[in-house]
Structure 1
Amino acid sequence: MNLYKLGKLVCSLVFFPLYRIKVVGKENIPKDGPVIICSNHISNFDPPVVGITNSRNIYFLAKEELFNNRFLEKLLKSVHAFPIKRGMRDRNALRKGLEILKQNHALGLFPEGSRQKNGEVGKGLAGAGFFALRSNAEIVPCAIIGPYQKFKPLKVAYGKPIDMSAYREQKASAQVVTDRIMEEIRQLHEFHCKKA
């Protein structure tokens, strides 16, 4: 068993019972081919939670500062995380992300760039739109409906892939595309908050 699978197993054993995680819309995640999973960001636990609630092995972008610790750097790299500088203007990270998608893998993004501690869906950075426009990946919105409280339900909802064809044909700006992705996440979040 590789470290990614082991990490996924351990996190599943901890997070599912601790936060009583309920997953909705898992069938919306393509089983193969390039996919970008774009989620809102409310906690440091979001990456492992997104990782354990779907069947794809996800490559996550993680803030560069986390890689300054040698132990943490090895751990993050073993679970397919790679560094990006603040603001998502890191050319090496953007290149790496596109390469991952070209290899038909799944890329996990938190377009807001930082946690929204109030639980609301914030504004996204242009990086998500960049990846959506420069690849043929399916874009799957994800909403994490918290907060993270022990033994209280946490919902992770995946929406249907967003049709990017018109944006790609029109050569829309990366920010316009990110705004559309964030609106889908916001609607998904609001819908499931009402159902909670």
Structure 2
Amino acid sequence: MIRFLLVATFVILFLVLSIPLLFIEWIIGKFNMDLKNKSSLAIVNWAFRVCLFLAGTSVTVIGEENVPKDVPVLYIGNHRSYFDILITYIRVPRPTGYIAKKEMLRYPLLSNWMKNLHCLFLDRKDIKQGLKTILTAIEKVKSGISICIFPEGTRNRVNDTFMEFHEGSFKIAEKTGCPIIPMSINNSAQIFEDHIPKIKKAHVVLEYGKPIYPAELSKEERKHLGVYTQNIIKETYFKNKELV
């Protein structure tokens, strides 16, 4: 329980003490949005790194050279833990918005920082609103912001399994032409979800696959882009099990 208390205490202190920073970031954004994007990214990256340190999490990263640095991308990954966000976010080379469930809007300060980072909030029960979120994500990518989504739609609670990847998530890449970066995450649930409420020391393996360009795929592969991408992530996931 000690690690849980350390992480929880840090998160609460960060959110409260960062209120002046939110105001400063708001002012910066009025004059220089690019500077705001970079400074918000740096601040939250620092906080996430502290959380992972307090949690005792070590991460082996493979294939980081596969992530383009000069263009926005669509990150697609499997999802078993809240810590997936922290583990992947500290690696992004440019401003990146995550698509989160709309319930996250209930948490003040946290949701403020998420908005600063171009995160979008998806109503999973409203198809029309969900479409609007995807359209907004498309505009984000066109403006140079990368997007990350876990297309299973929620955290998978069963180890070594994959839920269906929702095909609608991939419209972001299809409509913008941005590369899809498959992310395979091993053992992240061992940090917290496998033994709630305890946070335990864990080793996580994160591998980035080679970029997928929808325009270069066959018609059949584009039609089932979710299945195509999931198969790549599955293969990498099971390959990396021995590294955990």
TM-score, normalisation: structure 1: 0.88
Contact 1:41 1:116 survives alignment (8 Å) = yes
- Counterpart in 2 of 1:122? 163
- CA shift, 1:160, in A, is 0.8
Deviation for aligned residue 1:4: 2.7
| Structure 1 residue 16 displacement after superposition | 4.8
Alignment match, 1:141: 182
Contact between 1:64 and 1:83, CA under 8 Å: does it hold in 2? yes
| Residue of structure 2 in register with 1:38 after alignment | 76
User: 1:58, 1:107 within 8 Å by CA — same for their partners in 2?
Assistant: yes
Percent identity among equivalent residues? 22
Q: Quote the offset at 1:87 in angstroms.
A: 6.0
- Which stretch has the larger CA shift, 135-144 or 80-89? 80-89
**How do 1:29-178 residues align onto structure 2 when only pairs under 5 Å count?**
29-86=67-124, 89=127, 90-119=130-159, 120-146=161-187, 147-149=189-191, 150-167=200-217, 172-173=222-223, 176-178=224-226
Separation (CA, whole Å) in 2 of partners of 1:7 and 1:172 = 35
CA RMSD of aligned residues (A): 2.2
Residues 132 and 164 of structure 1 are in contact (CA less than 8 Å); yes or no, is this contact kept in structure 2? yes
1:12 and 1:129 mapped to 2: Cα distance? Answer: 29
Q: CA deviation at 1:2?
A: 2.7
Structure ranking higher on relative contact order (CA contacts 8 Å, 6+ apart): 1
Indicate conservation of the 8 Å contact 1:34/1:137, yes or no.
yes
Structure 2 letter corresponding to 1:192: N
- One-letter identity of the residue aligned with 2:148: G
Cα–Cα, structure 1 residues 12 and 69, in superposed 2: closer, same or farther, change >3 Å?
A: closer
Aligned-pair CA distance for 1:60? 0.6
C-alpha deviations, 1:34-91, integer Å up to 9, x for none? 2111010001121121101232321111101111333332132123211111168412
- Gap runs ≥5 in structure 1: none
Larger Cα-atom Rg = 2
**1:2 matches 2:39:** yes
Q: Give CA deviations for 1:105-147 in whole Å, capped at 9, x if unaligned.
A: 2110101011112233321112222222212101110011013
Is the Cα contact below 8 Å between 1:20 and 1:152 reproduced in 2? Answer: yes
Instruction: Provide the aligned length of Structure 1 versus Structure 2.
Output: 194
User: What is the CA–CA distance in structure 1 between the aligned matches of 2:52 and 2:168, rounded to whole Å?
Assistant: 29
1:194, 1:64 → 2: CA distance? 36
Q: Which of the numbers 165, 180, 183 marks the counterpart of 2:228?
A: 180
Letter in 2 for 1:114: T
1:190 equivalent in alignment to 2:238 = yes
Contact 1:32–1:104 under 8 Å retained in 2: no
Please give the alpha-carbon distance, in whole angstroms, between the structure 2 residues aligned to 1:135 and 1:88. Answer: 24
Structure 2: runs of 5 or more not aligned: 1-37, 192-199
TM-score, length basis structure 2: 0.72
d(CA) in 2 for partners of 1:143, 1:78: 26
